[in-house]
Amino acid sequence: MLYNLAVDETVEDKSKKTAAGSVIHLNKKNEAVFHETDIFKDLVAKAESNNVIDPRCYDDYQVMRGLRHSNGTGVLVGLTDIADVHGYTMLDNEKVPVEGQLFYRGIDMTELMKHCQQEGRHGFEETTHLLLFGELPTANQLKSFGDLLDVNRSLPRDFTENMILKSPSKDIMNKLQRSILAFYSCDDNPDDTSVFNVLRQSIELIARFPTVISYGYQAKAHYYDGKSLYIHSPQPGIGTAENVLHMIRKDNQYSQTEAEILDLCLVIHAEHGGGNNSAFTNRVVSSSGTDTYSAIAAAVGSLKGPKHGGANIKVRAMVKDIEENCLNWENPEKLKEYLVKILKKEAFSGEGLIYGMGHAVYTLSDPRAELLRDKALELAKEKNAEEKFQLYANIERLTKEIFKEMRGPDFTICANVDLYSGFVYELMNIPQELYTPLFATARIAGWCAHRIEQIISDNRIMRPAYKSVCPLTDYVPQAQRGITAVME
């Protein structure tokens, strides 16, 4: 069978026949590799056929699929002071579109970022302080908080060699998740869920994330891509955004515009309310009383998914597909025709989605996309990439036109933050492998704030209900299984 194989350690790169007659391939490490044998195909077919829920059951039992009401609004499952995502109002149980706003602890994120830029300073550390402690820091408090992050940016002794370089991963999110769990073993007091201890762990994680993803990328580039290995120590006094650029580049060089835009990306990704998938995952896991590392690692696993943090990679892939397969994409009419083909599942991934457009909450506009679009144009001018920027801007404009033509003049759809974030990273020559890890490096601030709020304000374990729709059936003795009774 396919289980408990006794593998001959002398066999390399060969096939092995089991007692049941199935063939198991062994790789050079003598590890059994699943192939599409008839036995395994049969198991796959059973798994597929025996896990189908009749879609009508969801309506019959009034199940809010995706934790959403039928009108698209989210099911209320908790309360938070940390952030508010405002994208519509309700009138007679219908969503009424409004301009999007994102509030951090009641403060408009756009206003926060505008003042930071006007005063010529980065905003991520200030934003993190606000999210964690509920108030804006004074100049001295911000300096002290920055110093606290700086002294925690280096990884534990031998961690880089043993956890990152000796076990590199092709996926940096996987490496980040494993590193978080490994930090548990480096912590003398990992399971204490007092606010003091969780806050200490949170600050360490927020400080270490840039270092982990930078070293994880360098290890991947070296061991999988054959590039030279560069391990640069984090530098004090320059902040999170500049440390990332410093550590991922072999020459440590970056422009001030690049540092400002990466800082902006970190601020706009730092938090997005308790209802997003990764924050909710963090809250669910935290509600069980488990340790910080388990809760944050679970959130990273959620963010890794292409429906969440990996969406900007999908945008970049879609744009590349347009450039390669849409002749004369500079012509808006030709581009519009191709976008329609994407929606009809006749082009790109066949999913019928224009990535970077539409959002679960925002209707008329996504404030994060609005901020990033302006900065993207600024960077495009600096990098002589205005034609490429225009492609993204045209995708946004033409998609809105298409949906109005398809669904009526009152239909609204807006660009979301993913449309421009991947483009910005591309202009900065940030490797695609780091797009989602950079999202995590920002969102760790929000995750930690939510974990602390959950521990203090709501100590009940989350246990939602699932209705079983499986009919009762009798136990079948083993000797009678697989026997088909033919009734005459």
**pLDDT per position as a tens digit, 296-326:** 999 999 999 988 998 889 999 999 999 999 9
Q: In the predicted model, what is the mean pLDDT of residues 365-391? A: 95
Q: In the predicted model, what is the mean pLDDT of residues 178-202? A: 98
Cα–Cα distance list, 450 to 69, 103, 108, 208, 439 (Å): 24, 15, 18, 19, 17
Does one domain contain both 243 and 183? yes
102 assigned to some structural domain: no
Q: Quick: pLDDT tens for 74-110.
A: 899 999 999 999 999 988 888 899 999 999 999 999 9
Q: In the predicted model, what is the mean pLDDT of residues 206-211? A: 98
Residue type, 285: V
Q: Quick: pLDDT tens for 147-187.
A: 999 999 999 999 999 999 999 999 999 999 999 999 999 99
Does one domain contain both 290 and 159? yes
Kindly state the percentage of the chain with pLDDT values over 70: 91
Does one domain contain both 265 and 346? no
95 assigned to some structural domain: no
Q: Quick: pLDDT tens for 58-73.
A: 999 999 988 888 888 8
76 assigned to some structural domain: no
pLDDT reported for residue 19: 52
Q: Is a pLDDT exceeding 70 seen at residue 5?
A: no
Does one domain contain both 352 and 395? yes
| Token reading at 448 | 């930690």
93 assigned to some structural domain: no
Does one domain contain both 228 and 128? yes
Q: Which among 233, 252, 308 is positioned nearest to 275, based on CA atoms?
A: 308
Does one domain contain both 422 and 450? no
Tell me the residue range of the domain where 246 lies.
Answer: 108-308+436-456
Does one domain contain both 342 and 246? no
Q: Is a pLDDT exceeding 60 seen at residue 338?
A: yes
196 assigned to some structural domain: yes
CA dist 38 and 173 (Å) reads 34
Cα–Cα distance list, 339 to 34, 37, 346, 385, 391 (Å): 39, 40, 10, 22, 12
With H, G, I as helix, E, B as strand and everything else as coil, classify residue 50. coil
Mean residue pLDDT across the chain: 91
Q: Quick: pLDDT tens for 412-457.
A: 999 999 999 999 999 999 999 999 999 999 999 999 999 999 999 9
Does one domain contain both 258 and 157? yes
pLDDT reported for residue 4: 37
Contact 171, 160 (CB under 8 A): no
201 assigned to some structural domain: yes
| Residue 114 binned pLDDT confidence (cut-offs 50, 70, 90) | very high
Q: Is a pLDDT exceeding 80 seen at residue 36?
A: no
Q: What contacts 24+ positions apart, CB below 8 Å, involve 343-348?
A: 343/402, 343/406, 347/321, 348/317, 348/318, 348/321, 348/322
Question: Residue 376 sits in a domain of what CATH number?
Answer: 1.10.230.10
Does one domain contain both 333 and 197? no
60 assigned to some structural domain: no
pLDDT reported for residue 243: 98
Q: Is a pLDDT exceeding 60 seen at residue 54?
A: yes
Domain count, the chain: 3
| Residue 259 binned pLDDT confidence (cut-offs 50, 70, 90) | very high
Neighbouring CB atoms inside 10 A of 132's CB total: 21
pLDDT reported for residue 88: 93
Does one domain contain both 131 and 271? yes
pLDDT reported for residue 68: 86
Q: How many CA atoms lie within 13 A of 109 on its CB side?
A: 31
Q: In the predicted model, what is the mean pLDDT of residues 38-52? A: 88
Question: Residue 180 sits in a domain of what CATH number?
Answer: 1.10.580.10
Q: Where are the beta strands (DSSP E) in 118-160?
A: none
CA dist 304 and 213 (Å) reads 13
Does one domain contain both 379 and 366? yes
Q: Is a pLDDT exceeding 90 seen at residue 229?
A: yes
Q: Is a pLDDT exceeding 60 seen at residue 21?
A: no
Kindly state the percentage of the chain with pLDDT values over 90: 83
Does one domain contain both 219 and 280? yes
144 assigned to some structural domain: yes
pTM: 0.90
Within 224-310, residue ranges assigned H as helices are: 239-248, 256-269, 277-287, 292-303
| Residue 6 binned pLDDT confidence (cut-offs 50, 70, 90) | very low
CA dist 86 and 362 (Å) reads 7
